[in-house]
Amino acid sequence: MCSKVVLIFLLVPASFLAILLSLNTIASRQRQFQWDMNRKDVTSLPQLDRERIQQRAERLAKALTIQTISWERDVFETEALLQLHQHLKNSFPLIHSSPSIEVNVINGYSLLYKIRGSNDGKNDGVLPYMLAAHLDVVPVANGTWKMADPFEGRIVDGVIYGRGALDDKSSVMGILEALEFLLENKYNFHRTFYIGFGHDEEVSGFEGAGHIAKFLKETGVSHLDFVLDEGYFVLEDLVEGVDDLVSVIGVTEKGYATLELSVEMSPGHSSIPPKETAIGVLAKAVWALETNPHPSMFGHGPEMDFFAYISSSAKIGHSVLFSNLWLLSSLLSKLLARSPVTDAIQRTTTAVTIIQGGYKHNVIPGSASVTVNHRIHPADSLDQVIEHNRRVINDPRVHIKVVDYYPPTPISPYGLDVSAFNLIASSVKQIYPSSVIAPACSPANTDLRRYVELSDHLYRITPTVLTPVTRGGIHGDDEQITIEHYHNFIRFYVALMLNADRPETGHSTVRHHREL
């Protein structure tokens, strides 16, 4: 009898909880984010014909042949950058001859376009905005490009191959293709906006975007409504539990810290080795870092909202989990920790990238060092990162030096009532109507780091479909974009420019996240 009573007391709360979770899940699946679709209709404009699509693809392919490589900070291919400038002039004659468009070369190699609208700041409260991208690309590693040489700019079976096809010359060319298209169709802009192309994003952005920001401030631009740069993509088959496309808009990005760990000890002859060497002590420190990850910050950044936003499109099992994070967030955090890809969403990451020690096979070195790269979660700080490292290493012989550091960017407001975010989201929905919008923290750094003082609304999306096949091409082999996806890339920027030109835009509502 007693055991039956105990069983009843266990089953009743469990049943109640199951019903509660089911009801919450059903409500979540019924609730769709109604992004403002009262936007200018892109289909009302002359459509890009097939021949012009091919021409646009060929212009991008030509841009990919120009080797605008950034090697390291302050070391980049200056002649190639100037060649790319000329290619842009040749490709977009209306842009570069329009009396309403001012083009400035910034710090020798970056470009800033000012598209002067008819109001040009005459209407109080209407702020300009900026579209950003970068001209440079990363070097090619010792991989094997199968379909084309990295700088061949080859088109094979409707696919454009080459370094920069996704990161980030497709953005450069796609933005200008959209603007040229609107000029061809005699569109007159009402709202002023900017297009900024930095030339050293891959190695810091100091000389490019940093100088663009400085130029804007010096010429009287104290605030921008929003800045949109590269970032996440429209993901296909990359989010577990969701069959729909997931259009991810980055609302912040991780910080970046490079640390040097070093150990100094007495050198000696290898025939009489001490019990511990500098290399051995350092090896233990590396092991400690790699086996003791930084704590999960799940729920302290946009990662919880990411899952809440996609919950209505998830399969039922995943939807139960994503819709009830008020109760199940710790479970999801543990599931994310199983994979390095998903674990990076919720915590500061640690990567040991360089190790140095020793110079002769029979000499015990007196010193050794390693370089450690951290990508810092927005809820974390450099002091917390260093404190964690010291604690898990637990050896005063290991000295920690900060080589390079940039903090995480502030989390930009997002949600239905944030006009800048809504503008971008609804423009994405015009091109990918079946996709679900979700905010996230970008693990990689962009030029938006340099625009923090110019806007509170910094967003990141590369508006093309990314699949498990094409994902590996970013900084890797066979970087590619299909002609059809590039076509939609351009259509997105056409939609965004038109939507941003509406009279009521330019008045960003400053609200924070968690608007579900």
Give the three-state DSSP class for 214.
helix
Give the other-Cβ count within 10 Å of 288's Cβ: 16
Q: Which two tokens stand for residue 102?
A: 């001012």
Q: What is the distance between the alpha carbons of residues 245 and 233, in angstroms, rounded to a whole number?
A: 10
Q: What's the per-residue H, E or C state across 229-259?
A: EEEEEEECCCCCCECCCEEEEEEEECEEEEE
Count the Cβ atoms, other than its own, within 10 Å of residue 50.
Answer: 10
Q: How far apart are CA 59 and CA 63, in angstroms?
A: 6
Catalytic residue among 77, 167, 168, 201: 201
Report whether 102 contacts 192 (CB < 8 A): no
Q: Which residues pair with 261 in a beta bridge?
A: 370, 400
Residue 202 annotated to the active site? no
CA atoms within 13 Å, Cβ hemisphere of 470: 22
Q: Which listed residue (136, 202, 207, 447) is catalytic?
A: 136
201 labelled catalytic: yes
CA dihedral of 73, 78, 83, 87, whole degrees rounded to 10: 30
* Distance (Å, whole) CA 448 – CA 469: 27
SS3 state at 9: helix
In 347-479, at which residue ranges do the beta strands (DSSP E only) sit? 349-357, 363-364, 367-376, 399-406, 436-442, 458-466
Longest pairwise C-alpha distance within the chain:
90
Angular region, 394: left φ>0, alpha ψ -120 to 50, beta rest: left
Dihedral (CA of 427, 432, 433, 437) sign: negative
Decide: 262 and 368 in contact? Cβ < 8 Å.
yes
Query: Six-digit token pair at 54?
Result: 């091919």
Q: Which residue from 482, 420, 487 is spatially nearest to 456, judged by alpha carbons? A: 420
Please state, in angstroms and rounded to a whole number, the distance separating the CA atoms of residues 247 and 465: 9
The helix/strand/coil state of 71 is strand
Amino acid letter, residue 105: V
Catalytic residues: 136, 201
